[in-house]
Structure 1
Amino acid sequence: MQNWINAYSAMNLRFLFKGLLVTLEISIVSVILSMIFGSILGIVRYTKIPWLSEIVGFIIDIIRNLPLLLIIFFVYFGLPSLGFKPDTIVAAIFAMTVFESMMIAEIIRSGIGAVNRGQLEASRAVGMKYYQAMWHVILPQAYKNMIPALVSQLISLIKDTSLATIIVTPELMQHAQVIYGQNANYIVPMYLALAVLYFIVCYSLSIISRIIDRKMA
């Protein structure tokens, strides 16, 4: 029992929460960038622009089928050979943005495809240009339908930040490893703390998603 009390000392808990803040920072920045790039790539793939859509689709299919860990390794260990050496947090954000952008691009593409084609045709019929119809009519409806899938992807992203510990990113998992590295008796308490913290964050997002979904229904 004393080991558990010591494991959850004020100093250790503060250290864990610092790691949680880094995890949230990586997740928030990555998801914002992923939404921007993923939306662009999804629209490009949906619109079937000659050559460009095929190339984008090919790249998306390749990256979506690679392990995220491999992308993290490539960014952190491979890019320095090309003259760019990011620190661990930047490398984690870069790798996750690349990976998540491809996932979100597919969500966006399928979400746009689920909107009745007549909506686009009606918008064009009243004089809207293609990009105006897409921005003002199609995308708002598509994003509304995609909220559950996008939140699910965000939850996966938060959990995937634990992979960044492999390049010693100071996120939640890495901080827990530092704590139980000082005392092997802290391993179980730290894993339990990790489970609780990840659950609280991810389950909270799920609840928010359901509330938004009900309000927009």
Structure 2
Amino acid sequence: MDFAGALSPDHLTFLLEGFWVTVKVAFISIILSFLIGGIVGILRYASIPVVSQVLAVLVETIRNLPLLLIIFFTYFALPEIGIKLDIMYAAIAALTLFESAMLSEIIRSGLKSIEKGQIEAARSSGLTYVQTLNHIILPQALKRMVPPIVSQFISLLKDTSLAVIIALPDLMHNAQIVYAQKDAYIIPIIFTVALMYFIVNYCLSLIARRLEIKQA
């Protein structure tokens, strides 16, 4: 093992550049998937005729497809129908599509976990459906959604590494380039990459715990 050579200033800078790409792709995907997943989850919960059924089919289809296949589709298949995306945007689109489906189910399940008695009481007191959703259902459901949502965000951050198959210059891509230079670099580089992922994911876990405490 050659820690000194593997973690030279040039190599560390190269790894950090890849790590920045990983964080950027994950952050944008998290924001977009949370917004889209939230809208889809609420629409499915509302049981709007036809719309709810169509969304259910789409969500279940996407959830049961490998993320790797979706990444291939966004980068290699979309250009065949005239939609050509940059590597980074293809990765973001694939991650957003996949994670939106996952989050929509978490949000729908969280909303459905609220007792019907509370909803009926709110409606009988004169609140509209939207007011009941905003003031009664969502505040309580969010408390129950925080742990699985953060867990899904952690999975998303780790899943960015799959985009290495389309040569996204992320942390794993740059790590492979570095440790391919010398066998003695493999363990030091893998250890460093694992540490970087751990730090970010652990911070997300701490944020989740803080949110749970505040909402308790």
Bin for the TM-score computed over the shorter chain:
over 0.9
Q: Please list, as runs of the form range in 1=range in 2, the aligned pairs for 1:57-206 lying within 5 A after superposition.
A: 57-206=56-205
CA deviation profile, 1:28-52 (whole Å, cap 9, x unmatched): 1111111111111111111211121
Looking at structure 2, the residues matched to 123 and 98 of structure 1 have their Cα atoms a distance apart, in angstroms, of 34
The alpha carbon displacement at 1:131 in A equals: 2.1
Q: How far off is 1:216 after superposition?
A: 1.4
CA distance in 2, matches of 1:20, 1:116: 43
Tell me which residue corresponds to 1:10: 9
- Give the superposition deviation at 1:132: 2.7
Report whether the alignment pairs 1:31 with 2:30: yes
Q: Distance in 2 between matches of 1:122 and 1:94?
A: 41
Amino acid at match of 2:160: T
Q: What CA deviation, in whole Å up to 9, does each residue of 1:25-76 have, x standing for no partner? A: 1111111111111111111111211121111111111110100000000000
Q: What is the one-letter code of the residue matched to 1:208?
A: I
* Structure 1, 65-74 or 135-144: larger mean CA deviation: 135-144
Report the Cα offset of residue 170 of structure 1: 1.1
Q: What residue identity is the alignment partner of 2:149?
A: L
Structure 1 segments unaligned to the other structure (5+ residues): none
Task: Return the letter of the residue paired with 2:84.
Answer: K
Rounded to whole Å, the distance in 2 between the matches of 1:39 and 1:115 is 16
1:146-205 deviation digits (Å, cap 9, x = unpaired): 100000000000000000111011111011011122333212211111111111111121
Letter paired with 1:53 = S
RMSD: 1.3
How far 1:87 sits from its partner (Å)? 0.8
Q: Which residue type is aligned with residue 150 of structure 1?
A: I
What code does the residue aligned with 1:18 have? E
Please identify, of 140-149 and 63-72, the stretch whose mean Cα deviation from structure 2 is larger: 140-149
Letter in 2 for 1:56: L
Aligned residue number for residue 215 of structure 1 = 214
Measure how far apart 1:128 and its partner are: 2.8
Question: What is the one-letter code of the residue matched to 1:38?
Answer: G
Kindly report structure 1 stretches of 4+ aligned residues shifted beyond 2 Å: 118-129, 181-185
d(CA) in 2 for partners of 1:215, 1:129: 28
Shift of 1:98: 0.3
SS in 1 for 2:180: helix
Structure 2's unaligned 5+ residue stretches are none
Q: Which position in structure 1 is the counterpart of 2:40?
A: 41
Residue identity matched to 1:154: F
- How many equivalent pairs are there? 216
The Cα shift of 1:133 comes to 2.0
State percent identity of aligned pairs: 50
**Within 1, Cα distance between the matches of 2:66 and 2:174?**
23
